A and B are shown apart, each in its own frame.
Chain A
């Protein structure tokens, strides 16, 4: 049932991405509305999938990579949908839906998670994964808004036509989304790092073991601490903030996923 729901969610996200892409090419308003509805339906299905985990006799852990990525995709999608109406982000569904699809598809293809007993340490692993994933999802939205800002900035500076519809959000809206996602994502990431340290301490007796994952995650947190200071403390401009948000998320992505795969 879980696997089927996950596959169905991936399919719905894919449909949302295709509809949003078609809306951009064909400039049909109803297609972009359908894409938003499909993205919302995907988020509901994925939410249902996560809520069903707690009804299982032996709840699977969330600490494995695929589940964490899937959870991150869900939080990112839900956060995006919440911001969509406030900041008229319909134009960005074409970016978000494929990312959500990739996250869920990766989880759907991966083998089932290991038993929770092997992970241990009570609710700390769950808290760590949930908080860190939610933080990274929001920082991902910040990075995506930064990328969209840079693309729009470049188009407006080069005085090129806006191709297709719906229109991209305004530069100001993208900058606000960037700032808001950073302001919400960084505290969650901080809590994720803290709960991670507590989890490590419960397992090894010390909050720091010097593993590559810990080192890179701490570096990513430090990078974001600098970004937050630049943005909210030193009044960094919109374009620089967009660049740093994009670079910050690329670094965090490498620290969390790349290090696990490569090092």
Chain B
């Protein structure tokens, strides 16, 4: 069994490609993926910054081909060429794949290093895979290890200090445009987790006037209620935009909602006041053409990424500590994963010995005239002898299997106990 991971993120693929890969409902593609012969288990992580699939397979190359077609046909659109896809995707095998999953869950591979959202997103991706039957014992163990690693890093390092969310980076930018945010008006388009985080960050800055606009009015009202903001429908956008100073948008949809025409209409009522648009939607919610408007400052998720990487520089020391923790946890999982190769040999050996015990017990009992109680006693005795004899070699095999040279022990055990010989030769030799 081998681990394989294929994906694209904010560093490997431009936003134009990532937004074509955005997955609204991961269940159908995930079910389709695990129904193929090459894939035994799979988890799909899809966020605004990454689309990744980690799978368990018996044959790496065929699984890789399967994942390529999965990205092209089941996630992306048909117009995405193979070369274009290959240029944007990365593939990690075995140890690399394990490490990558641990780093992703720990936010070390995030656009804003140390950001807290990715852990929740990874947990959600894992839960979805479990619920639709795509994840199995191996990926279960890998993701549990990843969550434990993330928790350990947050506890043992200061990686989560500083501006650790897109919202915080956005607030920092807003302060470069506006002198004081407290008197400004914010418009939040969408009502998801990112909007909630941004609202928290903006409230901390003392921003008092906040509007939430969303497709579903109930969700907008619920979020607005919690943050003492006003709730609106998307049809009110033109009026809301003409009043807003900071616009943060993260809402689903294949077409931009902040078009050039809409922004021009809003700007005409603003008397040259600047407007700062933070677009963290994937696909983008704000048309890049609005950059041409003089008073508009638009930043999308990729623009924020480059700013966030500058923040990470200041936490280089913490990054070293976090990477060391990842290495340690990776080693633990790898030990467990490698030890799994001993399982077939141990099972085979146990069943072979049990078979011999049963056969010899039957023969012996047939020659002896014993009552039921005595028969049970003899049976328990033979079982106990077998278990005691096997205990030490099996324990040793499990331990050794975790090491690189463990394979030699497994082969030796198979040879010594004749596990690769066929049953008939086995029986004839006994006679």
Q: With A159-B306, A161-B307, A161-B310 in contact, is A170–B272 under 8 Å at CB?
A: no
User: Quick one: which of B254-295 are within 8 Å of A by CB?
Assistant: 271-272, 274, 291, 294-295
A111 interface residue (CB < 8 Å to B): no
Residues B295 and A172 in contact, CB atoms below 8 Å apart = no
Residues B299 and A167 in contact, CB atoms below 8 Å apart = no
Residues A157 and B271 in contact, CB atoms below 8 Å apart = no
B177 interface residue (CB < 8 Å to A): yes
Cα A6 to Cα B299 with chains together (Å): 48
Residues A237 and B272 in contact, CB atoms below 8 Å apart = yes
Encode contact with A along B137-164: 1 for CB under 8 Å, 0 otherwise. 0000000000000000000000000000
Cα A162 to Cα B178 with chains together (Å): 15
Cα A162 to Cα B163 with chains together (Å): 15
Q: With A159-B303, A162-B176 in contact, is A235–B272 under 8 Å at CB?
A: yes
B235 interface residue (CB < 8 Å to A): no
A221 interface residue (CB < 8 Å to B): no
Residue of A nearest to B173 (CB): A156
Among candidates B175, B274, B291, B303, residue contacting A238 with C-beta atoms closer than 8 Å:
B274
CB-CB under 8 A from A162, the residues of chain B are 176
Residues A152 and B176 in contact, CB atoms below 8 Å apart = yes
Cα A237 to Cα B175 with chains together (Å): 19
Cα A140 to Cα B176 with chains together (Å): 23
CB-CB under 8 A from B176, the residues of chain A are 152, 156, 162, 167-168, 170-171
Encode contact with B along A249-263: 1 for CB under 8 Å, 0 otherwise. 000000000000000
Encode contact with B along A226-263: 1 for CB under 8 Å, 0 otherwise. 00000000011111000000000000000000000000
Cα A172 to Cα B307 with chains together (Å): 21
Residue of A nearest to B296 (CB): A157
Residues A173 and B179 in contact, CB atoms below 8 Å apart = yes
Shortest distance from the beta carbon of B246 to any chain A beta carbon, whole Å = 12
Residues A87 and B179 in contact, CB atoms below 8 Å apart = yes
Q: With A159-B299, A237-B295 in contact, is A170–B307 under 8 Å at CB?
A: no
Residues A171 and B272 in contact, CB atoms below 8 Å apart = no
Encode contact with B along A171-188: 1 for CB under 8 Å, 0 otherwise. 111001000000000000
Cα A257 to Cα B238 with chains together (Å): 51
CB-CB under 8 A from B307, the residues of chain A are 159, 161
Residues A235 and B178 in contact, CB atoms below 8 Å apart = no
Q: With A235-B271, A237-B294, A237-B295 in contact, is A172–B303 under 8 Å at CB?
A: no
CB-CB under 8 A from B310, the residues of chain A are 161
CB-CB under 8 A from A239, the residues of chain B are 294
User: Quick one: which of B307-341 are within 8 Å of A by CB?
Assistant: 307, 310
Q: With A170-B178, A172-B177 in contact, is A156–B272 under 8 Å at CB?
A: no
Shortest distance from the beta carbon of B99 to any chain A beta carbon, whole Å = 29
B297 interface residue (CB < 8 Å to A): yes
Question: Looking at A152, A167, A169, A170, which has the most chain B CB atoms within 10 Å of its CB?
Answer: A170
Among candidates A88, A161, A170, A235, residue contacting B177 with C-beta atoms closer than 8 Å:
A170
Q: With A237-B295, A239-B294 in contact, is A156–B177 under 8 Å at CB?
A: yes
Shortest distance from the beta carbon of B172 to any chain A beta carbon, whole Å = 9
Cα A168 to Cα B307 with chains together (Å): 16
Cα A238 to Cα B303 with chains together (Å): 24
Shortest distance from the beta carbon of A83 to any chain B beta carbon, whole Å = 12
Among candidates B177, B291, B299, residue contacting A171 with C-beta atoms closer than 8 Å:
B177
Among candidates A161, A176, A236, residue contacting B179 with C-beta atoms closer than 8 Å:
A176
Residues B297 and A170 in contact, CB atoms below 8 Å apart = no
CB-CB under 8 A from B175, the residues of chain A are 170
User: Quick one: which of A6-50 are within 8 Å of B by CB?
Assistant: none
Residue of A nearest to B310 (CB): A161
Residue of B nearest to A162 (CB): B176
Residues B294 and A172 in contact, CB atoms below 8 Å apart = no
Residues B179 and A170 in contact, CB atoms below 8 Å apart = yes
CB-CB under 8 A from B299, the residues of chain A are 159
Cα A87 to Cα B178 with chains together (Å): 11
Cα A176 to Cα B274 with chains together (Å): 13
Among candidates A157, A167, A236, residue contacting B297 with C-beta atoms closer than 8 Å:
A157
Shortest distance from the beta carbon of B55 to any chain A beta carbon, whole Å = 36
Cα A235 to Cα B270 with chains together (Å): 11
CB-CB under 8 A from B297, the residues of chain A are 156-157
Residues B306 and A161 in contact, CB atoms below 8 Å apart = yes
Question: Looking at B173, B178, B272, which has the most chain A CB atoms within 10 Å of its CB?
Answer: B272
B interface residue numbers (CB < 8 A to A): 173, 175-179, 271-272, 274, 291, 294-295, 297, 299, 303, 306-307, 310
Known: A169-B179, A237-B295. 16 other contacts (CB 8 A): A87-B179, A88-B179, A152-B176, A156-B176, A161-B307, A162-B176, A171-B176, A171-B177, A171-B274, A172-B177, A172-B178, A173-B179, A176-B179, A235-B271, A237-B272, A238-B274
A interface residue numbers (CB < 8 A to B): 87-88, 152, 156-157, 159, 161-162, 167-173, 176, 235-239
Q: What are 30 A-B contacts defined by CB distance under 8 Å? A: A87-B179, A88-B179, A152-B176, A156-B176, A156-B297, A157-B291, A157-B297, A159-B299, A159-B306, A161-B306, A161-B307, A162-B176, A169-B179, A170-B175, A170-B176, A170-B178, A170-B179, A171-B176, A171-B177, A171-B178, A171-B274, A172-B177, A172-B274, A173-B179, A235-B272, A236-B272, A237-B294, A237-B295, A238-B272, A238-B274
